[in-house]
Structure 1
């Protein structure tokens, strides 16, 4: 990435800056495979979707019109269940920003009950470069 982007990113957010997102757990969020419910609680894949969305809020403000973010990793450490009808509050905070890479920590909670913790990574790339990286090999 260019130094211009690196400076822009560092000035916009700093370690500790936070974003939140709330999600009401529905039946579509439970752990189910091929129509069979495994556990009637919020599934790992549903948590992952909402964790990614929460940390993407930083990227949406950081990127330029000709740039896009792409996830580089996601860790989820389960701490407790979230049941259908409960609201999960996802809170993410900036751990570090180096050049075009954003690292965030997060926690997901229902009230005082911790549901999950972990870390995400994202990079901001020029759209043309990203499109080339995402082309299917022939």
Structure 2
């Protein structure tokens, strides 16, 4: 693992809310807002930017937790900015805080964690689960 990032550094991604980001289940669309599960996916991607910079070719990141608190909705066609801040880097642990904004309005905030593991360890974990 490369130690190429420092606590306090920020990574930003932006995206436009599209139809597939809405809260939709087998019964149909629940509401026309950016869903929690789509938000979670995109927050993971923003925080993963640190892992991509730090992992070696024989390593991979694996999520350890995700905590999201919604503050206000984002709607279809809104451009959201996800700002991930590296808050902890200890051993192979990479933890971030994040805020999600539409212009100057806070949509969500929270924390996300990952560990950087050797790819062979990830494969061993899969084998253990499969039995």
| TM-score band w.r.t. shorter chain | over 0.9
5+ residue gaps, structure 1, are none
TM-score (norm 1): 0.91
**2: CA distance between counterparts of 1:13 and 1:59?**
9
Q: What TM-score do the two structures reach when normalised by structure 2?
A: 0.95
Give 3-state SS (helix, strand or coil) of 2:7's partner.
coil
Q: 1:62 aligns with which of 24, 32, 54?
A: 54
Task: List per-residue Cα deviations over 1:12-64 (Å, max 9, x = no partner).
Answer: 11111000111100111101110411111000000001000001110001000
Q: Classify the secondary structure of the residue corresponding to 1:72.
A: strand
Q: CA deviation at 1:134?
A: 2.0
- Partner Cα separation in structure 2 for residue 46 and residue 137 of structure 1: 28
Alignment gaps of 5+ in structure 2 = none
C-alpha RMSD over aligned residues: 1.0
Supply the distance in 2 between the matched residues of 1:27 and 1:60 (Cα, whole angstroms): 28
Tell me which moved more, 41-50 or 27-36.
27-36
Cα distance in structure 1, aligned partners of 2:125 and 2:57: 18
- For 2:24 and 2:104, the matched residues in 1 are separated by 26
Moved more, 59-68 or 35-44: 35-44
1:14 and 2:6 aligned? yes
